[in-house]
Amino acid sequence: MSSSSSSLTLFFFLFASAFLYTPSNSFNITTILSQNKNFSDFNKMLSQTQLASTINSRQTITVLALSNDAMSFFSSQSVEENKRAFSLHVVLDYYDIKKLKSLSKKTALLTTLFQSSGQAKGKQGFINVTVNNNGDVMFGSAVYGSLLDAQLLDSVASEPFNISVLHISTSIPIMDPNNSDFIYTSSSPLPAQAPNDDDYEYDEPPSPPSSSAKAKAHAPAAAKAADTAPTASSSKDNSTSSASVINSSQLDLAFAVVISSFWLFMTV
């Protein structure tokens, strides 16, 4: 084999490797929460229920976290019960404070990890987020009759547009859609929005696509973001989606280059 052929093969190999290297999710929810002792109990609960690993396996996620003073109720529940409860606190999309306060209709139904578990009934797996006239962002179950009394307090961490961790005042309960008398109460309840589906924006992102379907999955997501989000936010979402499509194309190109390089190496 000549030195020129070896150099050419090495060049193609390095070129393909650069394209094939696609780093996995850079975030780790356990690491993020460990930087603030006020969320140590919530962090421990995510690990006990194995929700932490599920969150880390996602590419886009929002976690509604509870501080230690709001966690006492869950110490008496089983691990499985807590897993169900906190999977409702994991939204399958990226939302930071700016994006929430920019909702075009000031309210939306967000899809959670509990919805994707297959255990949710009716709208149990959705949460209602509403921006009040005074600017407060409130969360609650999307089940009819539920109250919006979990208030957004502040942002714990954010890595646009992969993970956002938001601090909320109290937990969001899993409501029974078949029992209209079962309404969660609190010391300072707020009325839920009128249960008219036309009043809400729906955000129902699919489960993470396989590598072969990323380009197809991100295209409709970008189109949906353009319809439902403000212009500035939409541009960022579309940019992220476009980048995903490019990455998928790069993978296909890199694979072809690797095959060609291997063939060249064998025939020289």
Q: Is the residue at 86 inside a domain?
A: yes
**Residue 229 within a domain:** no
* Residue 169 lies inside a defined structural domain of this protein: yes
pLDDT at residue number 242: 40
- Rounded average pLDDT over 195-211: 48
In a domain, 221, yes or no: no
Which own/partner pairs from 50-57 qualify as long-range (CB within 8 Å, at least 24 positions apart)? 50/83, 51/83, 51/86, 51/87, 51/90, 51/113, 54/90, 54/113, 55/29, 55/90, 55/113, 55/163, 56/25, 56/27, 56/28, 56/29, 56/30, 57/25, 57/208
- The residue that leads in pLDDT, 92 or 21, is 92
Top mean pLDDT of 23-37, 94-108, 182-196, 217-231 is at 94-108
Q: What is the structure's pLDDT at 17?
A: 44
Extract the tokens encoding 19. 């394209």
Q: Is residue 248 situated within a structural domain?
A: no
**What are the tens digits of pLDDT across the range 149-185?**
999 999 999 999 999 999 999 999 999 998 744 443 3
- Within-domain flag for 174: yes
List the domain range (segments joined by +) for residue 42: 23-212
**Per the structure, how many domains does the chain have?**
1
pLDDT of residue 135 exceeding 50, the answer is yes
User: Is 97 domain-assigned?
Assistant: yes
Q: Which has the higher per-residue pLDDT, 169 or 10?
A: 169
What would the two tokens of residue 22 be?
């696609």
Q: What is the DSSP letter of 68?
A: G
pLDDT tens-digit map of 92-112: 999 999 999 999 999 999 999
The β-bridge partners of 126 are: 111
The set of residues, in sequence order, having a beta carbon less than 8 Å from that of 175 and lying 6+ positions away, is 124, 141, 143, 145, 146, 182, 183, 184
> pLDDT value at position 262?
55
Average pLDDT, the chain: 75
Confidence band of 58 (pLDDT split at 50, 70, 90): very high
Decide if 205 is inside a domain. Answer: yes
Nearest to 201 by CA among 142, 150, 134, 132: 142
Predicted confidence band of residue 81 (pLDDT cuts 50, 70, 90):
very high
**What's 91's domain CATH number?**
2.30.180.10
